Amino acid sequence: MAEYRADSAELKALAAKLKAGDRVLLSGTVYTARDAAHKRITELIAKGEALPLDLNGACIYYAGPTPTPPGLAIGSCGPTTSSRMDPYAPLFLDKGLAAMVGKGPRNKEVVDAIIRNKAVYLCAIGGAGALAAKCITECEVIAFEDLGCESVKRLKFNDFPLIVAIDCEGGSILK
C-alpha cells in the first residue's frame, strides 16, 4: 500500500501508478454531481449541447453538501452511494472522466469502463461529512442550481483523504 499527495489535474496521469488500497490526499478542483445532475448531463451529451464542466480529466465527487454555515466554505460534505450513478458512469468515463469519488461497490459495466479508460474510483469515508468539509476550501454552484444540494458544484480540495477502491487495472478493495 502506498500513499500519494495528488492534484486533481494529475489524476489521469497518476491513475496508472495507483493500486487498490493506496491512500491519496487529493487537492485541486473537484466537481459534485449526483443522480439528478448526471441525468441532465447525459441529456446534454445526447443533444450535443455544451456541458457545465469539461469531463476530460475531471474528478466527480458523488456528494450533495448541506447548506453552508456562516464563515465556512461548505456544509457537511460526505460521499453518497456511488451505485446510483452506475447507469451514467460508463458514458462519463468514455468522455474522459479521470476519477470518481464516492462510497460502495460499482457494477461490472463501470469497472470495465474504468479499465478501458485507465481511470480510478476513489472512496471517501462515509459518515464523516463534517470532517470532510474541513478539507474543502471553496464551493461554487456552476450548474442546475434548481437541484439544491444536488446542483453541480466546483470545489477546491486541500489534502482530502481518499482510498483507491478500484484501480485502472480492475484491482479492487470492494471484492
Backbone angles phi, psi at 104, to 5 degrees: 90, 170
Give residue 97's pLDDT band: very low, low, confident or very high (50, 70, 90): very high
Q: What is the pTM of this model?
A: 0.96
Q: Is residue 171 one of the residues assigned to a domain? A: no
pLDDT at 60 over 80: yes
Encode pLDDT of 138-157 as tens digits.
999 999 999 999 999 999 99
**What is the four-CA torsion angle of 10, 174, 171, 21, rounded to 10 degrees?**
60
Q: How far apart, in whole angstroms, are the C-alpha atoms of residue 119 and residue 1?
A: 18
CATH number at residue 22: 3.20.130.10
- Domain span including residue 15: 3-166
Q: Residue 159 in 3-state DSSP?
A: strand
Find all residues with CB under 8 Å of 41, minimum gap 6, and list them: 33, 51, 52, 88, 92, 152
Q: How confident is the model at residue 128 (pLDDT cuts 50, 70, 90)?
A: confident
Residue 52 resides in a domain: yes
Q: Is residue 126 part of a domain?
A: yes
In a domain, 9, yes or no: yes
Q: Is the Cβ–Cβ distance between 53 and 143 less than 8 Å? A: yes
In this structure, how many other beta carbons lie within 10 angstroms of the beta carbon of residue 59? 25
Contact 69, 81 (CB under 8 A): no
Domains identified in the chain, total number: 1
Q: Residue 172 falls within a domain, yes or no?
A: no
Location of C-alpha cell 483523504: 161
Catalytic residues: 38
